[in-house]
């Protein structure tokens, strides 16, 4: 009975980062100019918003954001996952309180990680339109110099 109680306590206390930080986070998205369509991929359901905006994402998702607006070059920003100090502390707390179960929960849910960069800020570049090249004009040949007599 004592073993069962200790195991139950370990499971309840496990996943410290999952409990303290949660398995989702807000990603803030903005652009210059504003009003750019931001397509967030890597989610269960692809999400689109108009900048400035924010989206809620799972911490363990591999995310990229595509920015597009007429008259501007599209841009893609991949987000990386990083373990910040608070996530590392929660993950390390599993050693003391939750053991392997808590570490497994945090690793599976990504609770110990944050997406970088956050906020995501881009400056859109105008589309460069090629100027039509005017055909070169043919010059009339220069008259031959007259020779004296």
pTM above 0.75, yes or no: no
The total of other beta-carbon atoms located within 10 Å of residue 40's CB is: 22
The secondary element (H helix, E strand) that includes residue 57 is strand 53-58
Q: Per residue of the chain (149 residues), give pLDDT as tens.
A: 766 555 555 544 444 544 556 888 999 999 999 999 999 999 988 899 999 999 999 988 999 999 999 999 999 999 998 877 544 444 455 444 555 555 555 555 666 788 899 999 999 999 987 666 666 677 767 777 776 65
The predicted structure's pLDDT at residue 33: 97
Instruction: Please state, in angstroms and rounded to a whole number, the distance separating the CA atoms of residues 90 and 114.
Output: 13
The predicted structure's pLDDT at residue 105: 55
Q: What domains can be seen in the chain, in order of their start residue?
A: 23-82+115-124 (2.60.40)
Give the full edge-to-edge strand order of the sheet including 53-58.
53-58, 24-32, 120-123
The predicted structure's pLDDT at residue 146: 72
The predicted structure's pLDDT at residue 17: 45
Bridging pattern class, strands 24-32 and 120-123 = parallel
């Amino acid at each position: 009975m004592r073993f069962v109680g200790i195991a139950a306590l370990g499971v309840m206390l496990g996943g410290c980062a999952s409990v303290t930080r949660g398995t989702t986070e807000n990603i803030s998205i903005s652009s210059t100019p504003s009003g750019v369509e931001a397509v967030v991929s890597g989610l269960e359901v692809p999400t689109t918003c108009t900048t400035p905006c924010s989206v809620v994402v799972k911490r363990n998702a591999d995310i990229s954001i595509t920015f597009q607006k007429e008259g501007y070059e599209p841009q893609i920003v991949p987000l990386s996952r990083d373990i910040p100090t608070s996530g590392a502390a929660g993950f390390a707390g599993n050693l003391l309180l939750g053991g392997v179960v808590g570490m497994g929960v945090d690793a599976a849910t990504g609770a110990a990680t944050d997406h970088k960069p956050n906020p995501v800020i881009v400056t859109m570049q105008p589309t460069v339109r090629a100027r039509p090249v005017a055909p070169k004009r043919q010059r009339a040949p220069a008259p031959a110099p007259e020779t004296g007599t």
